[in-house]
């Protein structure tokens, strides 16, 4: 970690205490995470982050496998292993197969864009997340492929998810939040 984690008990203004309470409520029953403790150095930023990421994580219509596939690909593309450690189990629990998890954990897919391990719908998410993360601009073919499987609402939600987790991963890696970002973890399940 490049900054010490903030101690929420040192925040004394009513406004800052209310921020901590909102972040704790979103995380419940789990305790505050290293990410939260870093963001709390800037309580207003932490509050906005908490609201936005809360909506992305729990306020969309995306199926868990879709949401977590996108987040895991962003984590791998950006080598945000703290993010991977938190979201890979959620992808697995959301229905991504063990072989699919191994595929999601590969930085270079060697040109593969379909095949065993992931559904065609999950592969479309992988291609879209990779394009948004690596190139920013998404080729029309990748977008058209995504549209085969998702409604307009889901496309917006998926795009917001990939964009949000690119923000998260860049924050995590830049500040080495969680002290896991320097080394690649094992991806077997």
Look up residue 8 and give its DSSP letter: G
Q: What is the pTM of this model?
A: 0.93
- Between CA 174 and CA 183, with CA 177 as vertex, the angle to 5 degrees is 80
On whether the CB atoms of residues 49 and 55 are closer than 8 A, the answer is no
What percent of the chain has a predicted confidence (pLDDT) above 90? 93
Residue 187's pLDDT is 59
pLDDT of residue 180 exceeding 70 = no
Name the segment(s) of the chain with CATH classification 1.20.1290.10.
64-179
Taking the alpha carbons of 97, 52, 4, 27 in that order, is the dihedral positive or negative? negative
Q: How many CA atoms lie within 13 A of 95 on its CB side?
A: 10
The torsion region of residue 60 among left (phi > 0), alpha (psi -120 to 50) and beta comes to: beta
Residue 170's pLDDT is 96
On whether the CB atoms of residues 117 and 109 are closer than 8 A, the answer is no
Mean pLDDT of 63-82: 97
pLDDT digits (tens, 9 = 90+) for 76-114: 999 999 999 999 999 999 999 999 999 999 999 999 999
Look up residue 177 and give its DSSP letter: G
Measured distance CA(95)–CA(175) in Å, rounded: 31
Measured distance CA(19)–CA(11) in Å, rounded: 10
pLDDT of residue 17 exceeding 80 = yes
Domain 64-179, classified CATH 3.40.640.10, yes or no: no
């Amino acid at each position: 970690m490049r900054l010490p984690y903030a101690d929420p008990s040192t925040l004394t203004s009513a406004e800052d205490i209310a921020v901590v309470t909102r972040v704790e409520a979103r995380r419940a029953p789990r305790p505050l995470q290293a990410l939260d403790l870093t963001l709390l150095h800037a309580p207003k930023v932490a509050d906005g982050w908490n609201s936005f990421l809360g909506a992305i994580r729990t306020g969309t219509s995306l199926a868990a496998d879709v949401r977590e596939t996108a987040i895991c690909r962003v984590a791998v593309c950006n080598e945000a292993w703290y993010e991977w450690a938190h979201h890979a189990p959620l992808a697995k629990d959301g229905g991504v197969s063990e072989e699919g998890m191994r595929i999601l954990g590969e930085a270079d897919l060697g040109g593969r864009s379909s095949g065993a391990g992931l559904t065609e719908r999950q592969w479309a998410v992988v291609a879209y997340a990779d394009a948004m993360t690596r190139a920013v601009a998404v080729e029309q073919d990748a977008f058209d492929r995504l549209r085969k499987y998702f409604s307009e609402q889901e496309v917006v939600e998926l795009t917001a998810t990939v964009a949000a987790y690119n923000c998260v991963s860049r924050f995590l890696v830049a500040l080495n939040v969680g002290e896991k970002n320097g080394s690649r973890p094992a991806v077997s399940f």
